[in-house]
Structures are given as structure tokens and as C-alpha cells.
Amino acid sequence: MIEIQVELGDRAYPIWIGAGLLRDRALVRRAVPARQILVVSNQTVAPLYAPTLLSHFDDRSVEQVILEDGEAYKTLGSFERVMEGLLRARFERGCCVVALGGGVVGDLAGFAAACYQRGVDFVQIPTTLLAQVDSSVGGKTAVNHPLGKNMIGAFHQPRAVITDLDTLRTLPARELSAGLAEIIKYGLIDDPMFFGWLEEHMEALVAREVAVMAQAIERSCRDKARIVAMDERESGVRALLNLGHTFGHGIEHALGYGTWLHGEAVAAGMAMACRLSVAASLMSEADAERALALIRRAGLPIHPPVGVATEDLLSAMKIDKKNKDGRIRLVLLKGCGGAFLTENYPEDAFMAELATREES
């Protein structure tokens, strides 16, 4: 088992990574000491893993909220269902919310935990690659709204993150690729050695070779934990973790939440950021092509899909937490491993990028 500590003073917490961790009764009970527990999962994940998890709490008061699966259900309505589960059970402030699922479940459960009685414990048990390397770490919780993605939420750190590599065995190939997008992101942001390692091992990752996958997850979590420890509330360097996300969130909103997976939209967004960086004379064409080639090798798109109107994409991007004084701020690149946040880029190149679509 690998253990990584997210260093946040008295709110520090471990990320445990390994095979079979969900079956480790002592570890799970150590992570979740509460007597009152609400397990939040979805209709896909719960039948696979909830029975094992619940078997560890046979002497506790446990309730479940099982949500529909997908980004389309990351809503205030689903949030209300989780809150109602806590209230109906009359759980006290010492309770714990356990998120068993992917990023949607983790974000929803964490936001509910942040709000219930002004904040109760929660634990992340991520079951998708994307959640394991990104959304389960760092305490960003939120729901979507028809007018904007992740605009309603809170910072609320978990007690622990339990990453069981065995859950990746049941992950659909498309979901695996979506998670690889977030892994590629860490290399592009500020870890060029990791980016080079990914170029050497992408086929092994796509094939789910366990040892290689464990290395990629560990490196991603270490990179994110380091950045979160420096800037928990995204007032500075943590904004770089949004590479590709402003474009990507715009794609998700314009398409309708759930049409593309989050990682697919982020992948296209990272490719757009690379091409805009070249147009702005920040990144060499050779480095951009390395990035685009790696994204393609992961089975991911490098353009928005046909059918997304440019004006809809632009309108969605204007509702973003990084924007300042009405200007869309983007994470761009000075080479592979040189991300920075800026509102200064060629407007004509930006608009041209928004209008580009995948060739049929």
C-alpha cells in the first residue's frame, strides 16, 4: 500500500493507494470511525462495491443514498436527496458521509458533508480513474447548474481517500481514457519528467497494467497533493490544475452535461490550450504535437465535437471562476511542463480555436 499525506496542518489527511483496500476491514474502519454513516453511491457502482463496504460497518448505524449515474445528475436535486438522507436518519454532527463512486458522487457527497450542520466528516472512496487522480483529492466539492458548471460548492477536505486499484477492473474503456486526460494534465502543468514517462508508458496504461497504473496514480496524487498544500483555496498556483478545464467546461455546458465525459472535454480543452499557446508564440509546434499525440494515444479527442455552436461555447466560458473583470482567463503553456494563468492571448487565435471542429 502506498500512503501520501496531503499536508494541510491540523486538517492533513492520507491518500491510501493499493489493490484490495476496500476489503481491508481495519483500514476502512480506521478511515471511518464514526458511529453514524451515510454511504452515497450510484446505481452502477453500488451493486459492485457497496456490500463489501457495508460489511465493515455491521456494528454501526448506516444509511445509503443511491443516485442515478452520470454528470447529468450532479444537481441541486441530487444534493437535496443526500441532505434528506442525513436529516431523515437524524444523524448528529459526529456522523460521516462516505462517497463511493466517481467524481460526481464524490463532489455531491462532499458538498453535502460541507453543508450538513455546517460541516461533518467525509471520506472519499473513488472508483474511477479520474476520481482517483483528481476529484477525490483537494477538497473541491460542488454541483452543476444549468447556467454554469461547479459554480455552487465549497472547499471541504476529506478525512481520508481510499483508492482501491481493483475497482479499475470494472471501469469501461471510455471512463479509463477520461481519467488518463487528468493524468496527462499533471505532466503538462509542471512535471515534464512525468510527461516523458507517460509517453513511454501510455500503451501499458491503456492496457491497465497494474504496476504501471499504480505508478501513474501515485505520481498524479503526489503532484496534486503538493499543489493543494501550497494553495488550498485556489488563490494562486492551484488554478494551474484547471489546464484545459475552461474550454472543457464550456464544451460540457454547450453539449449538455453528461453527453461527453468530463475527461473527454478536458482532453479537448488541453489540446485547444496547446494550439492557442503556439499561436501566441508561447509553445513550440513540436511540444504541442507531443501533447496532442499523447492525448490521441489515450483515446481522447483534440477538438470540440461537431454540433457545438461557437457562440454557445463562448457564452459558457464566460461563466468561469477564474475570470476577472469580464475577461476569460486561461491556463496556457510555455512548453510541456510550463503552465501559467493569463488573460493575455491573441483574440483572433482564441476565436479561431473556438470555431475549430474535429475533421470527419
Per-domain residue ranges for the chain?
Answer: 2-170, 173-355
Cα distance between residue 286 and residue 292, in whole Å:
10
Q: Are strands 96-101 and 121-126 parallel, antiparallel or unpaired?
A: parallel
Cα distance between residue 12 and residue 174, in whole Å:
33
pLDDT at 235: 87
Q: Which residue has the cell 479499475?
A: 168
Q: Which residues contact 203 (CB under 8 A, 6 or more apart)?
A: 297
From the list 216, 236, 238, the residue with the least C-alpha distance to 227 is 238
pLDDT at 357: 86
Structural element, H or E, at residue 25: helix 25-31
Active-site residue set: 118, 140, 182, 224, 234, 238, 242, 245, 249, 262
Cα distance between residue 69 and residue 243, in whole Å:
26
Q: Which residues of the chain have pLDDT under 70?
A: 359-360
Q: Which long-range contacts (CB under 8 A, 24 or more apart) does 208-211 make?
A: 208/168, 208/169, 208/176, 210/19, 210/165
CATH topology of domain 173-355: Dehydroquinate synthase-like, alpha domain (1.20.1090)
Q: Tell me the CA distances in angstroms from 107 to 79, 190, 206, 358, one per residue in order.
A: 10, 25, 26, 31
pLDDT at 359: 61
pLDDT at 340: 96
User: Check: CATH 3.20.20.80 for 2-170?
Assistant: no
> 345 in helix, strand or coil?
coil
Provide the CA 209 distance to its chain's centre, in angstroms.
22
For residues 133 and 198, the answer to whether their CB atoms sit within 8 Å is: no
pLDDT digits (tens, 9 = 90+) for 292-333: 999 999 999 999 999 899 999 999 999 888 888 789 999 999
